[in-house]
Amino acid sequence: MKRKGRSTGRKPRPAQALPTPATPHQQTALERERTTKRRGEISELAFALAAARHGFGIAKPYGDSERYDIILDPSHLAPHARPRLVRVQVKSTAHMLHGMHQVAIKRTIKGGGYAAYKLTEVDFIAAYIIPEDAWFIFPLAHILGLTVLLLKPKGRRWRHAYDRYREAWQLLRDPDGIEFA
């Protein structure tokens, strides 16, 4: 007997395995928030897996009260560097604006507004481009004050200022050359 719904074809990537509404109606604010929160949780897991594959030690803060999602320990990957832990805020997107992937890199503040991250809160932003299964690794000091990033899709021939951050895992391995608070 064949099941209705999802096909038995290829398995989706982690962040693509998101719940979809059962009916094609307009989503309520609560449904949108649940889907966005779930996509964020799945993207954090995808980042932890990718970081583990790159050899990082990984820790997850208890609860969700911190501004960062993941703590990385790169000390055994860069033995010449001083031991330190790296705070990473994970963001993801499947949204495009004017042919570019749009990633919101803002935090919620009291009163319902938004603001850019501070150097005292986060060391790196890891932006997951879901349709490409690609990561952009940004030291916060390099994008300080920004709340949105527009990232070039893979395969476009023209150069973009953020190309050097695509799959830039080496920045996490030896962060000593980057200025932090």
Q: What is the pLDDT of residues 1-12, one digit of tens each?
A: 555 555 555 555
CA dihedral 141, 142, 146, 150 (to 10 degrees): -150
Joined together, the tokens standing for residue 160 give 């973009």
Q: Of 108, 113, 96, which Cα lies nearest the Cα of 149?
A: 96
Domain 36-175, CATH class in plain words: alpha beta
Q: Per-residue pLDDT tens for 101-145?
A: 999 999 888 888 999 999 999 999 999 999 899 999 999 999 999
Q: Which residues contact 129 (CB under 8 A, 6 or more apart)?
A: 92, 93, 101, 103, 135, 136, 151, 153, 154
Q: Give the domain ranges of the chain.
A: 36-175
- pLDDT higher for 138 or 37? 138
